[in-house]
Amino acid sequence: MEQDFIGEDFKVGNLIQNFGTHKSYYATYKSNGLKISGTWHVPNKEGPFPILILNHGYFPPETYTNGYGFGREQKYFARAGYAVFHIDYRGYAFSDKDPEALTGRRFGYIGYSTDAVNAILALKGSGIENLDFDRVGMFGHSMGGGVTLNALLARPDLIQAAVMWGPVSADYEDNFRKWTVGRMDEDIQSVFEAEFGSIDEASSFEALSPLNYLDRLKTPLLIQHGTADESCPVEWSQKLEKRLAQLDKDYEYLEYEGVPHVFWNENWDKAIGDAHSFFTENLR
C-alpha cells in the first residue's frame, strides 16, 4: 500500500480473433518497470465502455499460456459491452520474471497485486478512446480473488465494483498453512522470517493479511463461493463476510450449495449471471 504504483506504456499488439461481437488482441504494459502481458478485448460497437480487469487463479507458470484462465469470462463480458483486460501477471506467459521472487514480496501475492493496480493506471495513460474510467471493475478467482482484494485496499480510488469467486483467505496465515509451509525449504523460511517473524507466530502474518486493512475498503464487493470448494474452503469467505459485516461495508455474499472451486455448466451460468448483475448495478 505504501509503494509507488507506476503503470504505463500500454500497447495493443496483434489481433487474436474477431468474434463478431468483439475483437481480442495481445497486449502488454509496464508494471513498475516490468513488462506484463495479457489479452485485451474490445466490443465492436460505440463506447464509452466500462472497463473490467480480470485476475486469474494460480497455475504453474511453466504451463500457463497467454490469456489462460477466465477464458469464458473474458468473452462473456466483452460480448456484454465491457472493455476487458485479462492480465497474465509477472512471471507468466510473455511477462518479465519477477526480480523480487526470492524476497519477502513473494508472499501475499504482492507482486501480482501491484500488476493489477498498474493495469488500470496503464490504461488510463494509454490515450485509448471510448473507455470510461468512472466505471472500472475488477474480477478475480481463487488466488486472483486475493489479488483483487489487495488491489482494492491498496488503491481504493481506482475501482468502482469488484467480484471475487472462491477467493483465497483474507487471513494470510490460512493460505500459508495450506499451500506454503509443506513445500517450504530452509531458504524460503529464512526469507519469510527475516521479513515478518517466526512462522510459528500468528502475529507474523498480520502485515500480509487483507483482513487487517478492511477499514480501507470503499468499493462495493461481491463474494461468491461454493460450499463444496475443495481448494479454498468456504469458511474462509465466511470469515471475511463476518468482518465486512462488523465494519458495515458495502458488500454482498452468495453461497452456492454443493458447488466446487471451479464453477461449471449450470453452476457457471448462475454465478456469471449474478456477477454480471452486480457489475451492471454498480457500474451504471
C-beta separation of 158 from 52 below 8 A: no
Every domain of the chain and the residues it spans = 7-171+209-282
CA–CA gap between residue 75 and residue 43 (Å, rounded): 10
Q: Is pLDDT of 184 > 80?
A: no
What 3-state DSSP class applies to 124?
helix
Residue 230 is which amino acid? E
Average pLDDT over residues 133-153: 98
- Per-residue pLDDT averaged across 235-248, rounded? 98
Query: What's the pLDDT at 186?
Result: 79
The pTM of this model reads 0.96
Does CATH number 3.40.50.1820 belong to domain 7-171+209-282? yes
Coil, helix or strand at residue 283: coil
Q: Is the Cβ–Cβ distance between 36 and 120 less than 8 Å?
A: no
Q: Are 199 and 176 within 8 A, CB to CB? A: yes
pLDDT of 131 > 90? The answer is yes
State the DSSP H helix or E strand holding residue 105, giving kind and residue range, or none if neither: none
Provide the sign of the torsion angle of the four alpha carbons 93, 111, 105, 196, taken in this order. Answer: negative
* pLDDT per position as a tens digit, 145-173: 999 999 999 999 999 999 999 999 999 99
Retrieve residue 212's grid coordinates.
Answer: 487487517
Nearest C-alpha neighbor of 5 from the set 82, 113, 86:
113
Separation of alpha carbons 143 and 77, rounded Å: 20
CA geometry: angle 188, 239, 87, nearest 5 deg: 55
221, pLDDT greater than 90: yes
pLDDT above 80 for 185: no
